[in-house]
Amino acid sequence: MARYWPEPPYLHGTAPRTGVLLVNLGTPAAPTAAALRPYLKQFLSDPRVVEIPRLLWWPILNGIILTLRPAASAKKYASVWMEEGSPLKVHTERLTTLLAKQLLQAGHDEIDVDFAMRYGAPSISDRLQALRARGCTRILVLPLYPQYSASTTATVTDEVGRCLAQMRNQPEVRFVRNFHDNPGYIQALASSVREHWALHGEPDRLVMSFHGVPRRSLELGDPYHCECHKTARLLVAALGIAPERALLTFQSRFGKAEWLQPYTQPTLEKLAAQGIGRVDVICPGFVADCLETLEEMAMECREAFLHHGGKVFHYIPCLNERQDWVEGLTALTIEHLGAWLSRPQADEAELKAARAQALALGARS
Q: What is the pLDDT along the chain (365 residues), one digit of tens a residue?
A: 678 999 888 666 678 899 999 999 999 999 999 999 999 999 999 999 999 999 999 999 999 999 999 999 999 999 999 999 999 999 999 999 999 999 999 999 999 999 999 999 999 999 999 999 999 999 999 999 999 999 999 999 999 999 999 999 999 999 999 999 999 999 999 999 999 999 999 999 999 999 999 999 999 999 999 999 999 999 999 999 999 999 999 999 988 889 999 999 999 999 999 999 999 999 999 999 999 999 999 999 999 999 999 999 999 999 999 999 999 999 999 999 999 996 543 344 544 555 555 555 545 54
Bind-site residues for Fe(2+) = 211, 292
CATH topology of 17-28+86-178+322-340 equal to that of 183-316? yes
Amino acid letter, 135:
G
pLDDT at 255: 81
Choosing among 3.20.20.70, 3.40.50.1400, 1.10.10.410, 3.40.50.300, the CATH entry for 183-316 is 3.40.50.1400
pLDDT at 2: 75
Quick count: other Cβ atoms within 10 Å of Cβ 23? 27
Statement: the pTM of the whole predicted model exceeds 0.85: yes
DSSP codes of every residue in 62-111: IIIIHHHHHHHHHHHHHHH-BTTB-HHHHHHHHHHHHHHHHHHHTT-TTE
Bind-site residues = 211, 292
Domain residue extents for the chain = 17-28+86-178+322-340, 183-316
CATH architecture of the domain with residue range 17-28+86-178+322-340? 3-Layer(aba) Sandwich (3.40)
